Amino acid sequence: MNDDDLARALRRLDPARTPLDAPIPLAAERRARAFAQTAQRPRRRPVYAAWGSAAAVVVLVLAIVTGVFWMPNTPASALTPQPLVFTAVSDDASQVIAQAQRRLTDGSDPSEPERRSLSLGWYFSGSPDEAEATVFRREWVDVRWNEDLSGSVVTTVAEATNAAGDEVPTGEPTPGTVVGDLQFVRNQFSPLSPTAPEPTVDAMRALVLTSTGAGDQLTAGDAMLGARSLLGEWTLTGPQQAALLEVVAKAPGLRVVGTAFDRVGRPVIGLAAVPSGLTTSEATLLLSADTGRIVGYESKLLADNPSLRLPAGSITDYTLWDVSDRKADAE
């Protein structure tokens, strides 16, 4: 599949009237190309679930720009978000997850799971005339769906910043602008789990395996990708999150990164691992130091990527959850 084929396929999927000269998010292009390379492999789910869920594909379709595939001529190494600054801790991964699971039992989480996922994500975009090289396009993605499999995915612009985190308003949509509004009629939405997932390790592991196509050789990185897919559809209860964390804990390849403050200033502790299908990238799962909940996911390059003109260590995407209060403040 070449660039033109990929662009045509995405046009057929994308009902949004995205301008053809709009910039392409870096993470979206990477996932689209990964899908193009793996869609025909056995044990993968159909196109609407290639990354584990309809919601994941919907977010991709809303974010990606059809028909334009390019990168700026200048190196982008200084133009991606600054890595989080972690402080090392003595606890190992099992201890960190056990502590998070204890916090998840304090009763402060939702009492019932909700068919909704509100996230704040970052997307890479470039300026064709290189006047401003790149900005970080933050977007709120609000996924809501119903038991009859109808629903919506609404994408709203948040603040745009440069690499230093300073606001860059010139030429960017005003925060609060709706840039995507995708509606699903009855039976059109295709989630990983149409019913509320059971708060058991076996149930969560089955969903993770379904979302990743990793087979029985599930790594901690694969489990993180599965968690990301599931959190893209559901707001989970404490017991459900605790079971999901146990799946991550039992998979090989997990390490503790340390404590930090996430990109909206919340205290977190990071767990990192390498997904089996993306061995040049490392995934980091961010757990709230206050609640134990999974509140963030990041991806970092482990090796130089010549096609993206990014060196090892570059942050290529991040997604934050449990941000409803912050979106309300921004409105």
Distances (CA, A) of 173 to 120, 139, 157, 272: 16, 11, 7, 34
Q: How many other CB atoms sit within 10 Å of the CB of residue 295?
A: 22
The residues that bridge with 255 in the sheet, in sequence order, are: 272
Helical H segments across the chain, by residue range = 3-13, 26-38, 54-63, 93-103, 201-212, 220-231, 238-250, 324-330
Of 28-32, 158-162, 176-180, the poorest mean pLDDT is in: 28-32
Q: Is 2 helix (H, G, I), strand (E, B) or coil?
A: coil
Distances (CA, A) of 143 to 56, 58, 104: 10, 9, 23
Of 21-25, 105-109, 142-146, 232-236, the poorest mean pLDDT is in: 21-25
Which pLDDT score is estimated for 125? Answer: 53
Mean pLDDT of 173-181: 89
The residues that bridge with 258 in the sheet, in sequence order, are: 270
Q: Please report which helix (H) or strand (E) contains residue 138, including its range.
A: strand 134-145
Mean pLDDT of 145-167: 85
Backbone angles phi, psi at 290, to 5 degrees: -95, -45
Which residues, 6 or more positions from 98, have their beta carbon under 8 angstroms from its beta carbon?
none
First to last CA, the chain: 41
Rounded-to-integer distance, Cα 113 and Cα 240, Å: 9
Rounded-to-integer distance, Cα 122 and Cα 3, Å: 23
Which pLDDT score is estimated for 221? Answer: 95
pLDDT category of residue 212 using cuts at 50, 70 and 90: confident
Which residues, 6 or more positions from 126, have their beta carbon under 8 angstroms from its beta carbon?
23, 24, 70, 71, 72, 76, 133, 134
3-state secondary structure string, 151-180?
EEEEEEEEEEECCCCCECCCCCCCCCCEEE
pLDDT category of residue 277 using cuts at 50, 70 and 90: confident
**pLDDT, tens digit, 9 for 90 and up, residues 216-258:** 778 999 999 999 999 999 999 999 999 999 999 999 999 999 9
Measured torsion, CA atoms of residues 132, 283, 322, 264, in degrees rounded to the nearest 10: -40
Top-confidence residue, 174 or 115? 115
Rounded-to-integer distance, Cα 286 and Cα 323, Å: 14
Q: Cα 185 to the chain's mean position, in Å? A: 24
